[in-house]
Structures are given as structure tokens and as C-alpha cells.
Amino acid sequence: NKRNAKGLYFAKKNNIKFIIVNYKNKKIAETRILKALNQNNIELIFPEIFISLSIMFLLILGVFKKNSSKLIQNISLIVLLITAVIIFNETMGIDEKILFNGSVIIDYLSSFMKIITLLAAFLVLIISSAYLRTFKIFKIEYPILILSSVLGMMIMISSNDLIVFYMGLELQSLA
């Protein structure tokens, strides 16, 4: 970080240059830079956050509402479609963005693979519903397990580090 004669701070982090105007304290300038960087990180992993919050909501809904298998499956289908739209709108146009000190990478290929994974899960839920009804095993757990498996796959797709890949693998194998 450098300061010129006019009180402007120039900072560079993750190949992004920032100019902070008229800050007399270097610590305040660095805090503003870090806040700006952290806000960008959250919006790029919003699809994973949305699926994880949806899983928790569906678990709570399934416990408190009796005979909610059809409702849980329909909401799961909607969650998958909304997540695909979020990925298409938010992260599809990004060339390459490295987050969390190189642990997660968001680029065109990872966004494309996430959309393919979500559409495949959507088709699996639609196709398997007739089979589950035929054998009378249509329960609330199945769509939730599919969603948690998809969340693990999405984390594995975006991983750029072995520990993040392992976390995604464990989450996917939990289902």
C-alpha cells in the first residue's frame, strides 16, 4: 500500500487495484478495501448459500408438516431451477475469480458444470417420482438428499484446493 502527496491510498489485492480517496488513517483505508473484497465474495457463492439454506428450510418444513412429500419435492424442483437461474445471471459472465485465498475458483467452466449438475438433478427428481410412488417409498428425505448431493457437487466443481474438494466430497457422500 502506498500513499501519495494528496492523501490518496493505492492498494492492490488479488490483482485488483483500489484507490481510496482522502483517508488520513491507513487502517481505515485498508478496512474499506477488505469490506469491498468480502462483498464480492459473498455474491459469487450465493448459489451454494441458497441451496444450503433451502435444505435447512425443507428439513424443518418436512418435520413440522405431515404428509408433505409432494410439497417438499415441488419446492426442491423450484429451488433447483432458481439456483440455475442465479448461477446463469451472477457467475456465468465471469472470466476467472479466485476466492478465499485461492481455495475456490469461479469461472465460465465451473458455472457451466454447475448448471448441468442442477439440470441433471432436476430431471432425476422428475423421473424418479413415479418409481418412488409405485413402490410406496415417496418420502421427504429423497429430494433433500438429492439437494445435499448437488450442493456437494457444486462445492467440488468450484474447489481449487484439496481441503475444499474433500469438504464437497464428504457433503456429496453424506447423501
Cell numbers at residue 135, please? 413402490
Q: Where are the beta strands (DSSP E) in the chain?
A: 2-3, 9-13, 16-20, 96-99, 104-107
Q: Using alpha carbons, select from 128, 116, 126, 123 the residue that is nearest to residue 153.
A: 116
Q: Which residue has the cell 417420482?
A: 129
The answer for residues whose C-beta is within 8 angstroms of residue 109's C-beta and 6 or more apart is none
Q: Parallel, antiparallel, or unpaired: how do β-strands 2-3 and 16-20 relate? A: unpaired
Cell numbers at residue 51, please? 441451496
For residues 101 and 35, what is the distance between their CA atoms, to the nearest angstrom?
Answer: 15
Give per-residue pLDDT as tens, 47-88.
999 999 999 999 999 999 988 889 999 999 999 999 999 999
Q: Would you tell me how many other CB atoms lie within 10 Å of the CB of residue 120?
A: 13
**Residue 99 pairs with which residues in a beta bridge?**
104
Give per-residue pLDDT as tens, 100-136.
888 899 999 999 999 999 999 999 999 999 898 888 8
pLDDT of residue 44: 87
